[in-house]
Amino acid sequence: MTDQLKRAISAAKTAQSNTATTDQASNGAEQQNFEMSESSYKTSHTAVRKARRFAMQGLYEWLVTDHRFDKDGKLGWKANAPHDIAARTRATNAMHTVHIGYYHEMMRDIPEQIEALDALISQHLDREIDKLDTVEHAILLIGAYELQNRLEIPYKVVLDEAMKLNNHFGATDAHKLINAVLDRMAVELRDAEVQADTKANLRTSQKAAAKSAEAIKEKGLAKEETAAADSKPAKPRISANKTNVKRDRANKVGADAPNTDSKSQD
């Protein structure tokens, strides 16, 4: 093998090694950037609330397009999948203060569980679920999903957040229906939590009633003591007239006394 051929083979191996190293570094950098990008998003209570808002809007869009077309048998019209909605939402909105992980979870899991969640909701409705306003339907889907799957979120928080979503997006009186449905659903899905909360509220109300009764009792005793003090006979007072009489008598005695000065002068 000539020296020239050896140098060519060595150069090829070096180039191949450098290419592999560059690709590996590039892939690692991309992976790192992706992880940093995902981890840089907020996970606070406010960030979760914003995730619910974006999910409500995304679910609304999905309900009036692909989901409706699917139910109506217009499969050829389906071109607005939940993951496409989520990707488009992230591309067109500043979501650095949103809990992205929770947003994607809701946009993925709720459409997948739509039949089971609708069945849960329908048990507590006084009408067909198709008659629901789409905004109310989307809010109830989020509430039902959280009550069933996110047990770490207190049921009262789920109900409160649903009310906030309705205040932001829904009709004025829709909160009555949403609150009633989710409240009944909480009794079904979170029975132990609801019972514990009911007992805690009962103890709190009993303590408040006991304090109120004690305050009333103390107030009554204070009134009785005041009335008893007022009913005691008053101490006799020296009359100003009697004082004047004594003073007059003293003056009279002084007037009747002989004038020694005048006698001595005589």
Q: Indicate the angle between helix axes 134-149 and 100-112, nearest 10 degrees.
A: 100
State the DSSP code for 113. Answer: T
Residues 215-259 have pLDDT tens digits of: 787 777 777 777 766 666 655 555 555 555 455 555 554 555 555
Average confidence score pLDDT of the chain: 78
DSSP E strands, 26-135: none
pLDDT above 90 as % of the chain: 48
pLDDT of residue 99: 96
pLDDT of residue 38: 47
Residue 39 to residue 37: CA distance in whole angstroms: 6
What's the predicted TM-score (pTM) here? 0.64
Q: Do 100 and 90 form a contact (C-beta atoms < 8 A)?
A: yes
Q: Do 101 and 38 form a contact (C-beta atoms < 8 A)?
A: yes
pLDDT of residue 259: 53
Residues 145-173 have pLDDT tens digits of: 999 999 999 999 999 999 999 999 998 88
55-59, 94-98, 148-152, 251-255: which range is least confident on average?
Answer: 251-255
Q: What is the mean pLDDT of residues 55-74?
A: 87
Q: Do 169 and 112 form a contact (C-beta atoms < 8 A)?
A: no
- Band of pLDDT at residue 11, cut at 50, 70 and 90: low
Is the pLDDT higher at 146 or at 37? 146
Does the 39-189 domain belong in CATH 1.10.940.10?
Answer: yes
Residue 123 to residue 185: CA distance in whole angstroms: 9
Residues 173-205 have pLDDT tens digits of: 899 999 999 999 999 999 999 999 888 888 777
